[in-house]
Amino acid sequence: MTPVPSSEVRPYVLSETTWKVIKKHKYEIAVLPWGATEAHNLHLPYGTDNVHSQWVAEEAARLAWEKGTKVVVLPAIPFGVNTGQLDIPMTINMNPSTQASVLGDVLDSLSRHRIRKCVILNGHGGNDFRQAIRELQPRFPRMLVCAVNWYQIGRWEEFFADAGDHAGEMETSVMQHIAPWLVLPLKTAGPGKAKAIRIKALRERWAWTPRRWTKVTSDTGIGDPRLATAEKGERYLRRVVAEISQFLIDLGSADPDNLYE
């Protein structure tokens, strides 16, 4: 999984493709990477979720394209739901209602170009597109809209000793593999120690409330990143990309009007 040289035209990546190339292809699927802009401990950049989502989307699309699936990756949307982190400087929040509106505009544009399948490739835990998709479905009854949280693929314990929840071993390993120049030395990272919530039902996660981030962690991380390696990131991403690319291939051959056996 090495980066593609910038001189090579990738017709499955919209932001680097021209109209001359676009008009030659009849795209079946649009992939919309969606991330966030927020602190990731002391060693990862604020754009971590965006870098991850865009890279995973492009790699999965590459493999699907090589198998004949006409897929195009849209530019990533860099703002996510961060209402619990607004007291951390330079966190940029996009409310769920705003996300639904933005998604509606994107789907409207795609539907005009006869693209009937859209995959939201999500890289931020605070984003949840299920309700937005349900609300938008009546507006676009002939479009199949799916959401994938790439970081939920696979069993983390197969790849990491302590994956962590945010800027921990998993996210750090992934960034070390795809963009190591963006990772500060791990000795500069905080320990990512999180405080447990006092209420039993919330600890067991059958009750839920948003986390007040600065009440939970002092360095914005949850999970110790010090065991992270680029090799672990590569191994995990190989699994992630393989699963998503196969999903795109399956989706490309599916009839949205005849999905059920």
Please answer whether residues 71 and 17 qualify as being in contact, where contact means their C-beta atoms are separated by less than 8 angstroms. Answer: no
End-to-end CA distance of the chain: 36
Q: Are strands 117-122 and 71-73 parallel, antiparallel or unpaired?
A: unpaired
CB 103 within 8 A of CB 129: yes
Cα 97 from Cα 47, distance rounded (Å)? 22
What's the pLDDT score for residue 64? 98
Cβ neighbours of 145 (radius 10 Å): 23
- Angle, helices 169-178/48-66, rounded to nearest 10 degrees: 60
Please report the pLDDT score of residue 9 as a whole number: 83
The residue type of 70 is: K
Residue 3 CA, distance from chain mean position: 18
In 3D space, the residue among 257, 205, 237 whose CA is nearest the CA of residue 56 turns out to be 237
Question: What is the token pair recorded at 95?
Answer: 């409310």
pLDDT, position 8: 73
The alpha carbons of the chain give a radius of gyration, in whole angstroms, of 19
Q: E-strand spans in the chain?
A: 29-34, 71-73, 117-122, 144-149
Partners of 93 in the β-ladder? 80
Ranges in the chain, pLDDT < 50: 1-2
User: Token pair for residue 96?
Assistant: 């769920």
CB-CB contact of 225 with 120 (8 Å): no
Domains of the chain, CATH where assigned: 14-253 (3.40.50.10310)
DSSP E strands: which ranges in 48-132? 71-73, 117-122
Cα angle for residues 124, 79, 238 (degrees, 5° grid): 40
DSSP state of 15: G
Facing residues of 149 across strands? 122
User: How much is the pLDDT for 2?
Assistant: 47
The first and second tokens of residue 108, run together, are 């409207």
- Residue 124: both structure tokens together: 């931020």
The per-residue pLDDT for range 90-106, each reduced to its tens digit, is: 999 999 999 999 999 99
